[in-house]
Structure 1
């Protein structure tokens, strides 16, 4: 082939498939774009002038990618499907026994009609129940006969319990949780994202699914928002490519921005995420469903921002730390990962000056040389005996108040040091404690998540649950026993905040109760910048999802804002420091 013709052909591939050129007249095309390769090679010019040969695997990949694109074309062209009067009977015939709410019925009908897609309904809307309903209908239609669920460990309990609650006796699928060698008898397998990316687990899944047609479900799919660049996303994309049907579940599909939505939709429709996330694609919203809290008939939650003034000793430490960051401008350009740690340290300091000390607990490593003026270590030593962390004292006040009324309180903090301090401070209320170090189920351990949750739910002496949102912010329902939560601190992660809110604001709220969330916000601290950043992200999410709940959250009134902050947020932070 003449070089000029090769360059013309290569240009087509580079522009239309996202291919990469290795410089040796070879192009590497993402497998989900193989259908576009077939389209280019079918054209009279430039490809029609030469004879092309396909390997068996390449032809299969092209056929699969073309099928996904055709399926998306059909979904976008067809009006949204509403549930018919016969859906309940069809579900019963398929072995599904639970009665769906009207909004759930319509969502299930749309997902079955589309052959999969995204379920972006708010946390607490019954996404697990809806998924089992979709699976029951697809199973009855002969489209799938197995289901693989990728979910955080905190959601394991729900997938096992809901199977029993959703299906009639005799039709309950056998569910296995994270087996090393899954049984061929098991109809539903559940793994977490970390294990699903391991070669050994992938081999076990291949053996279990051999000769079968399985649906893959990505629960809390925002965990894979980095796409193939992240470990979670890479393993998930691999499984999406071999499944007969795909469902992605998350109430926060774009926790930090529209780019998150691209990666998540790519799991439901491989290779089509950018197209479906684009505001220029007509009817792109037909590729997913979303039930809002208004659609569920849930009363609006009460969100309160309580300003907390740091005492003088505490504020001296905070200002010293902030000055240290401000006076090291080279960090922003040369060591962005160092800035990440420094900002996390600043968030921690706004709640508790004792957290500024270097720690090596595996959760967070503090940088130790951002001191200004007098050494920070001396300031900390001086204030240890006299500083009164206002947020922790406020948390203790709320815990005492709720315990006196016989009510339970959920307290969130992102920092293990705060967990330890609050556990000592709230000892009279026998707090349950769940962090990343708490095993899910381990009878040989002093305690585990199952026992701590059971104690909080059923022990009247235990009136407080202390938890990190990174650990318990997903997959757990607490609304039957607890309707109030308190946030000692927050990060720039909007998805984490929304997920935490919905642990106590869900379908089935006890009659006469109102969900309430209290956010403690340090006056003249980084907390105020975090609040402003979260409101911006919620507004951006609302523009795509058109959810009145998100819009209302941006209007929460306030008195006198670790992970993942953008360049704009960093600039906002620097303005705060100055």
Structure 2
């Protein structure tokens, strides 16, 4: 029997080391090469091999162990590192096979045929290809564009794993609260009946955990998942779950302290099938993929930990390899693939009212007078000033009554018109006139309402939403509203109908009604295309994501071919509205270019903020100069 020499790996914090001072033979020749290939560096002075655990590829330790064993050395470790390395090696073999399969199926989806028992909705060709890919790679990503029917594709995938493979019997969906209703109603559209569903949120969620055997569909939001992580793990252990992260960019954070990302990583190993879905999976950069794909892989064996993944992205060749992995396990339907019926954009140009124009001209003039002075200020002060001025111009063009809460800004900047001061006009604006855009929005809405149509009205400003809701309610029109202060969930004080979900559901059920909302609160997971085919834009911001996502609410897959979707964009002539329109057109072209790539990686465009803000401001200045002859 061959006598083996034990070699002990020690781990302290993030440092791995092996003392070779009593085994000098392993510091020379082929042994040195073996250790280097495993990622261990020799400190020649101390004769110690060491490595940073954050950069170490654990699976390579198994190769080192095998090679050392053949030469009479038994590599050991004081913790479970080698056990983890063996598991990582097994997982790598499985995942590499899935990656290769993913690449093959994307190139030739006809290699597989679909068998979806009890799934009654007819899939479109592009949806079939996605479902085939989902099934072939098992743990997968659907990065299809908004409005492509991602929920339908996921339910088709669930049908396969539940009824054909019989490897799952329940579905857990992690998503924003406002998506709960869509997952429930789309289930009926896909299977012909409502599921036995429980929402794991609020005080009633404990009933769902206790009586989990009664339910098939479970929905939970990210915050509750963090709070109930142990309960959710027990739930997943009790049954065979397919786990879906809808709007998976919500867990994109690369920080080790990111609660939502860490929560989904903790539950990943307990899911029999894992799937992520997002139209904008990487709103900032490639690092956004790490937590989403580490969830899919249920471990760090492919992408490495955060530190190693960052190192890989800094190397162009390795970065391409990483993105190849991302691409192999994901499928994307682009807007061009949808074959949607055309839509019509109606530009409605109006002139500002008399007082409105005086206020606008004054603020525009101030902007030009102050810009040179402010540009020499501290950077943060300048940026805040610039942002405030652009908001004021947008507010005035939309509705000067919006300035009421900021009236103190205009004390000492008085102009008088028929003996009335500027501050008086602002504080009592509705006593003197109604903004031209509000008047036109009401006019268009009333015409559409008389035709029995539902009308969606968009405004970036909450006061507009509240004031329009009051107008239509007083006029006897059923009016509903959604903005930040409308609660997501029912409470003792707020019934179901007054929540965001309740307002949207009531709008869908009520013909000749209006829904007034801002894009910030209705950007995702809401479909109105079956009930509403007309949207009025009282105002818009420079945020192109809000513009594109708002359009997608009523122009999506499932829209009948004979339906014309119409958008009414109301603009004041000679104002910031014209600049916003041109800038949004440029940004939309850029964003469509990103969205039409197989793996869309943006640079902040979809992250709830404006991009190219410097160019936006410069465009406003140039517009003022050209239209009013002001020297900038």
Local SS of the residue matching 2:245: strand
Kept in 2: contact 1:344–1:563 (CA 8 A): no
C-alpha distance in 1 between matches for 2:92 and 2:37: 21
Name the structure 2 match of 1:290.
332
Distance 1:267 1:496, change over 3 A: farther
Q: Which runs of 5+ in 2 are unaligned?
A: 1-17, 22-26, 42-49, 304-308, 416-420, 601-606, 622-631
Partner secondary structure for residue 565 of structure 1? coil
Change (3 A) 1:254 1:564: same
**Residue 106 in 1 paired to residue 129 in 2?**
yes
Equivalent-residue separation in structure 2 for 1:494 and 1:67 (angstroms): 42
**What is the CA-CA distance between 1:210 and the residue it aligns to?**
1.9
Matched, 1:161 2:185: yes
Q: Work out the CA distance in 1 between the residues paired with 2:82 and 2:97.
A: 20
Aligned to 2:197: 175
CA distance in 2, matches of 1:243, 1:335: 49
Deviation at 1:472, TM superposition (A): 2.6
CA change 1:441–1:263 in 2 (3 A) is closer
Cα distance in 1 between the residues matched to 2:447 and 2:595: 35
Please state if 1:152 is matched with 2:176.
yes
Which position in structure 2 is the counterpart of 1:249?
A: 277
1:357–1:243 Cα change, 3 Å: farther
How many residues were matched structurally? 532
Rounded to whole Å, the distance in 2 between the matches of 1:412 and 1:225 is 29
From the superposition, tell whether residues 398 and 528 of structure 1 become closer, same or farther in structure 2 (CA, over 3 Å).
Answer: same
Larger Rg: 2
1:218 to 214, 239, 245: 245
Contact 1:122 1:292 in 2 (8 A): yes
Is 1:573 aligned to residue 596 of structure 2? Answer: no
**Aligned-pair CA distance for 1:352:** 3.0
CA offsets, 1:76-129, max 9 Å, x none?
A: 542425267852xx312xx43433233222211110101132212233332222
> What's the counterpart of residue 361 of structure 2?
316
| Distance across 1 between alignment mates of 2:582 and 2:319 | 29
TM-score computed with the length of structure 2 as normaliser: 0.70
Identify if the C-alpha distance between structure 1 residues 455 and 164 changes in structure 2 by more than 3 Å, giving closer, same or farther: closer
The CA deviation string for residues 391-450 of structure 1, in whole angstroms up to 9 with x for no partner, is 323322221221232222111223212211222343423321122333356385363345
Matches within 5 A, 1:292-371: 292-306=334-348, 310=352, 311-316=356-361, 318-319=363-364, 322=367, 327-329=373-375, 333-334=379-380, 338=384, 342=388, 345-346=391-392, 347-358=394-405
SS in 2 for 1:469: coil
Q: Does 1:124 align with 2:120?
A: no
Query: Equivalents in 2 of 1:349, 1:237: separation in Å?
Result: 47
Q: Does 1:207 align with 2:234?
A: yes
Deviation at 1:264, TM superposition (A): 5.0
Offset, 1:134? 0.9
- Indicate the SS of the match to 2:520: helix
2-structure distance, mates of 1:3, 1:37: 20
Distance in 1 of aligned mates of 2:275 and 2:254 = 16
Matched, 1:39 2:90: no
**C-alpha distance in structure 1 between counterparts of 2:64 and 2:586, whole Å:** 49
Question: Quick one: distance in 2 between partners of 1:479 and 1:437?
Answer: 25
SS of the residue aligned with 2:77?
coil
Alpha-carbon contact 2:171-2:242 (below 8 Å) kept: yes
**What is the distance in 2 between the residues matched to 1:305 and 1:513?**
20
* Distance in structure 1 (CA, Å) of the matches to 2:267 and 2:390: 34
The one of 72, 86, 91 equivalent to 2:116 is 91
> CA, structure 1 residues 397+150, in 2 after alignment: closer, same or farther (shift >3 Å)?
same
CA RMSD of aligned residues (A): 4.6
Q: Structure 1: any 5+ residue segments left out of the alignment?
A: 16-24, 360-365, 548-561
Measured in 2, the distance between the counterparts of 1:536 and 1:382 equals: 40
SS class of match (1:176)? strand
- Call closer, same or farther: CA 1:306–1:50 in 2, change over 3 Å: farther
Q: For 2:597, which of 544, 555, 563 is the aligned residue?
A: 544
Alpha-carbon contact 1:147-1:188 (below 8 Å) kept: yes
Shift of the alpha carbon at 1:389? 3.3
**Equivalent residue for 1:480?**
530
Which of 519, 530, 539 is the equivalent residue of 1:469? 519
Q: Classify 1:495/1:531 alpha carbon distance in 2 versus 1 (closer, same or farther; 3 Å).
A: closer
Inter-CA distance 458–420: structure 2 relative to 1 (3 Å threshold):
same
| Counterpart check, 1:191 vs 2:220 | yes
State the secondary structure of the residue aligned to 1:518: strand
- Residue 546 of structure 1: how far off its partner (Å): 9.3
Equivalent positions of 1:422-461 (< 5 A) are: 422-427=468-473, 428=475, 429-440=477-488, 442=490, 445=494, 447-460=498-511
Looking at structure 2, the residues matched to 256 and 351 of structure 1 have their Cα atoms a distance apart, in angstroms, of: 31
- Aligned mates of 2:422, 2:68 — CA distance in 1: 72
CA shift in 2, pair 1:405/1:570, >3 Å:
same
Assess, with a 3 A threshold, how the Cα gap between structure 1 residues 184 and 156 changes in structure 2: closer, same or farther.
same
Q: Partners of 1:100 and 1:211 in 2: how far apart? A: 32
CA distance in 2, matches of 1:2, 1:489: 69
Normalised by the length of structure 1, the TM-score is: 0.75
CA distance in 2, matches of 1:119, 1:203: 28
Q: Cα distance 1:315–1:216, how it changes in 2: closer, same or farther (>3 A)?
A: same
Counterpart Cα distance in 2 of 1:62 and 1:413: 56
Cα contact 1:117–1:247 (8 A) shared by 2: yes
Equivalent residue, structure 1, for 2:92: 66
- Structure-1 separation of matches of 2:169 and 2:524: 27
Cα distance, 1:402–1:326 mapped onto 2, change above 3 Å: farther
Residues 438/41 of structure 1: CA separation in 2 closer, same or farther (3 Å cut): same
- 2:306 match: none
Q: 1:295 to 1:543 in 2, by over 3 A?
A: closer
Distance 1:315 1:422 in 2: 22
